[in-house]
Amino acid sequence: MKPIQMVDLKGQYEKIKDEVNQGIQDCIDATAFINGPAVMEFQRDFENYLQVKHVIPCANGTDALQIAMMALGLKLGDEVIVPAFTYVATAEVIGLLGLKPVMVDVDADTFNIEIENLEKYVTANTKAIVPVHLYGQSADMEKVMKFAEKHNLFVIEDNAQAIGADYTFADGTSKKTGTIGHIGCTSFFPSKNLGCYGDGGALMTNDDELAAKIRMIANHGQEKKYYHKVLGCNSRLDTIQAAVLKVKLKHLDKYSAARNKMADYYDEHLKDIDAIEIPVRASDSNHVFHQYTLKIKNGKRDDLQAYLKEKGIPSMIYYPLPLCRQEAFQQYVEDGFSLPVTEDLCKEVLSLPVHTEFDQEVQDYIISEVKSFFNKN
């Protein structure tokens, strides 16, 4: 058996090699490295796929979040509500811009922002909320949007982990995650569901004015070359990365289905282990399984991870420490501040390999080793 990886990018590449290589070769032949034709072509394809008016490509997902905050005209000291159970990028950019990240708890089943008890965090300075669609499943956007409307907040979706997922509203209409709030942000980091072969990211919006502002900010604050209206940054998607993404976008739905197949197979074989809670699938969103994340309820998560490692099976803990307990974020919280659900999840979650290249033999091996651990523990 070949070495097991969290994500099998090599196996995926083998199947699209000719097309990807041709796309890259075309960029080199045209020496169109910056803003070459593939960038605009991918942008159009992605707008069509997402059914959104504007996609603005940029250099990475963290930049996308930062540019979103800048485009909304937030001022020093403004507060932004963000879940504490997420990757650091979501909250980091808030702090970097002199805004205040207000970290809140998540739902224990879906791992996504808990809206029920949020009123107490709203102040006169609260200006935005950032739902993160963690592990590949949409946050409860019906509730997020209602809450935001009530308090007049901007909604920035962090869709780095759920590209391709659909959210269904109570009235039966569906939208792609990332196109529901004022601005959506995503990342094309190689291991993301739509990943390129380096760094990349994008913003999405249906608002023409915001789109123009985002474009300007990502391009040094200029609309006309050498005339700078606002302070911006330099954040572009490489043409070569756009060429890769153009090919991979065509396969995205198939990739999501393959991830679901692996997840279904894990579910079926792990659901009867007492100490394990398999991922809960929300009724209002499909799941694109960026991660397949178990909750290990008997306090032996770390032992399981060590055991699997010994057997050559990688696993990951996303995330081991709540944002509100990170050293870098102590300036934003009172001593002893704690979010109980996030706190528990950080001790329980374990993500198993899930990707687009289903291999029954490998997955059976992973499952049998998880079972054998719990037979002994």
**Those residues with Cβ within 8 angstroms of residue 364's Cβ, 6 or more apart along the chain or in another chain:** none
Q: Is 161 in the site for ligand PLP (CB under 6 A)?
A: yes
With vertex at residue 85, the alpha carbon angle to CA 83 and CA 86, rounded to the nearest 5 degrees, is 90
- From residue 83 to residue 122, the character string flagging contacts with ligand PLP as x (rule: CB under 6 A) and all else as - is ---xx-xx--------------------------------
Distance CA 206, CA 147 (A): 20
Look at the block and give the residue holding tokens 């909250």: 91
Residue closer to ligand PLP (CB basis): 184 or 201: 201
Closest residue to ligand PLP in the complex (CB): 61
Active site residue 224: no
| Shortest separation between residue 159's beta carbon and ligand PLP, angstroms | 8
**Those residues with Cβ within 8 angstroms of residue 96's Cβ, 6 or more apart along the chain or in another chain:** 66
In residues, how long is the chain?
A: 377
In this structure, are residues 142 and 149 in contact, taking their beta carbons and an 8 Å threshold? no
Q: Is 160 in the site for ligand PLP (CB under 6 A)?
A: yes
**Those residues with Cβ within 8 angstroms of residue 55's Cβ, 6 or more apart along the chain or in another chain:** 43, 46, 47, 202, 203, 204
Q: Within 13 A of 199's CA, how many CA atoms are on the CB side? A: 9
| Shortest separation between residue 278's beta carbon and ligand PLP, angstroms | 21
Catalytic residue among 100, 127, 176, 192: 192
Residue closer to ligand PLP (CB basis): 62 or 177: 62
Distance CA 212, CA 201 (A): 17
Q: Is 157 in the site for ligand PLP (CB under 6 A)?
A: no
Residue closer to ligand PLP (CB basis): 102 or 270: 102
- From residue 57 to residue 86, the character string flagging contacts with ligand PLP as x (rule: CB under 6 A) and all else as - is ---xxx-----------------------x
Query: Cβ of 300: how many Cβ atoms within 10 Å?
Result: 15
Q: Is 132 in the site for ligand PLP (CB under 6 A)?
A: yes
| Positions in 320-349 near ligand PLP (CB under 6 A) | none
| Shortest separation between residue 178's beta carbon and ligand PLP, angstroms | 12
| Shortest separation between residue 11's beta carbon and ligand PLP, angstroms | 22
Q: Is 189 in the site for ligand PLP (CB under 6 A)?
A: yes
In this structure, are residues 155 and 115 in contact, taking their beta carbons and an 8 Å threshold? no
In this structure, are residues 131 and 159 in contact, taking their beta carbons and an 8 Å threshold? no
Q: Is 177 in the site for ligand PLP (CB under 6 A)?
A: no
Binding site for ligand PLP (CB under 6 A): 60-62, 86-87, 89-90, 132, 158, 160-161, 187, 189, 199, 201
Catalytic residues: 192
